[in-house]
Amino acid sequence: MRRGTLIASFLFAFFGMSVASAAWAQPKSDWETRLEERDWKERDLKLPEFPKGDNLIEFEASAANPFRFFVDSQSLTAGSDGVIRYTLVARSRSGAESISYDGLRCKGSAHKVYAIARPDKTWSTMSTSEWKEIEPRTVSRQHQALMRDFFCPAGSPIATREEGIDALRRGIHPSAVSSHSNFTR
């Protein structure tokens, strides 16, 4: 084979691989995203035990927020459906508490409330709860903080409950540190 033909063959193969790999790296089309969303099925709801004080891990949602926020470590799950579920406790300075059992979907940055706590320490399920997109810079920054810093680092869901607990105890997920500058509090 002549040298010119050999170089041309090499360049053709190199550029062909480059074009093919660029095609693989393309973002999904709207059609592909809608198809995935249509085929997605949320698993059946199983409410956790009511939270106990010893199992609460505090996290910071926003320095400007007057509430303290906690996740019950025993309720935290990383579902096979891609949903991170957890009990959220919001405590005011006076000690009043609001407790809910929530879910986060990293895909689509969405939040859902499954149940809220009753005074008798039982759950009241939400009959009309729907997935809602988490808006940046809203008053309810606790969901954004949980998604960004702990449960969906770099946009991907945690794989295990232990991974989420470790991130909460550290104060941030190790993978969220590199992508943290892309978000604002």
Number of Cβ atoms within 10 Å of the Cβ of 183: 13
| CATH architecture, domain defined by 53-182 | Beta Barrel (2.40)
Strand, helix or coil at 105? Answer: strand
Rounded to the nearest integer, the mean pLDDT of the chain is: 81
User: What are the pLDDT digits (tens) for 75-101?
Assistant: 999 999 999 999 999 999 999 999 999
Closest by CA position to 104, among listed 164, 179, 52: 164
More confident call, 52 vs 129 = 52
User: Would the pLDDT of 173 be above 50?
Assistant: yes
User: What are the pLDDT digits (tens) for 129-162?
Assistant: 899 998 876 667 899 999 999 999 988 999 999 9
| Per-domain boundaries in the chain | 53-182
Side chain identity at 136, as an amino acid letter? P
User: Would the pLDDT of 15 be above 70?
Assistant: no
Element (H, E) at 112: strand 110-117
| Size of the chain, expressed as the number of residues it contains | 185
Q: In this structure, are residues 85 and 79 in contact, taking their beta carbons and an 8 Å threshold?
A: yes
* Stretch among 3-7, 91-95, 162-166, 171-175 having the lowest mean pLDDT: 3-7
Residue 160, φ and ψ in degrees, nearest 5: -140, 160
User: Looking at residue 35, what is its pLDDT?
Assistant: 52
User: Looking at residue 28, what is its pLDDT?
Assistant: 53
User: Looking at residue 150, what is its pLDDT?
Assistant: 96
Q: In this structure, are residues 111 and 103 in contact, taking their beta carbons and an 8 Å threshold?
A: yes
User: Looking at residue 164, what is its pLDDT?
Assistant: 97
User: Would the pLDDT of 176 be above 70?
Assistant: yes
User: Looking at residue 66, what is its pLDDT?
Assistant: 85
Give the mean model confidence (pLDDT) for residues 38-47.
Answer: 78
